[in-house]
Amino acid sequence: MPDDEAPDDIHPLFRGAPASVEFRKLRKRILRETRAAIEQFAMVEPGARWLVCLSGGKDSYTLLAALVELQWRGLLPVELLACNLDQGQPGFPAGVLPDFLTRMGVPHRIEYQDTYSIVTARVPQGRTYCALCSRLRRGILYRIAREEGCSAVVLGHHRDDILETFFLNLFHGGRLAAMPPKVLNDEGDLFVLRPLAFVAEADCARFTAAMGYPVIPCDLCGSQEGLQRARVKALLDGWEAKAPGRRQVMFRALMHARPSHLPDPALFDFAALRRRPAGIEENPPQNAERD
């Protein structure tokens, strides 16, 4: 990927990008990690059309920019349609994203659905909005994807989101589970993809700030304090501060699970384990203890 680009050899999303070596390295890292996730989890299928969900936050801007540039360079053979769901939050700057996407030449659809009123009316005071808001939003996005002939709904969840979800499930859900980079919806007709699965949240923040994209905060969930996800995030931040690189080590662990070393008989057939007679050399059983 060239470092020096003529003005006509770059997508409008990247015009005005900083020329510093630091930013070029950041941009290349994000593209490399996005492409790696797309390839490793076999996200591309022939004739695919992706609905790229754009909230106006730093993560979704990074997602859009990475996918558009990969497509621009012929490295992502899919059709992209950006989509913003205006959920009716008070004070939401409705014109920001349509104006931005039009100026950048990105095909898009803006959908208005007042889920804000539904969420605030149904969720008791003191409870978090996230679960209901997410379900309503996801259902609307699935409908839009079907209407637009898309095969996948593409979300901006990054590496840190996946880690936080893992620890939320561990501490509060009693299960080992995270956000999969690729999964089918319940109906089985749409993929849900997370191409930023390898990208650090800090890189998304640095990239969006450097590009000057018009970030829109979420006033719905952002208005609530004491969220469990925020507590898990603070915990991970503390670990990272004490041992830089801890997040990446933990994420690698999620990619190297050993079912035979987890006490879940649904993942490993412990009943089928057999001892071998003494003196007979064979390969050790899969869950043999190792130093």
Tens digit of each residue's pLDDT (9 = 90 or more) over 235-284: 999 999 999 999 999 999 999 999 999 999 999 999 999 888 887 665 66
- When computed from its CA atoms, the radius of gyration of the chain, rounded to whole angstroms, is 22
- Supply the pTM of this predicted model: 0.87
When pLDDT is cut at 50, 70 and 90, the band that residue 2 belongs to is very low
Question: What percent of the chain has a predicted confidence (pLDDT) above 70?
Answer: 88
CA distances from 78 to 50, 65, 70, 71, 276 (A): 7, 14, 10, 7, 52
Could you confirm whether domain 16-254 is CATH 3.30.870.10? no
Q: Which long-range contacts (CB under 8 A, 24 or more apart) does 221-226 make?
A: 221/128, 221/129, 221/130, 221/133, 224/128, 224/129
When pLDDT is cut at 50, 70 and 90, the band that residue 291 belongs to is very low
What is the rounded CA–CA span in Å between residue 94 and residue 18? 28
When pLDDT is cut at 50, 70 and 90, the band that residue 79 belongs to is very high
pLDDT of 225 over the 60 cut = no
Task: Look over the chain and give the mean of its residue pLDDT values, rounded to a whole number.
Answer: 88
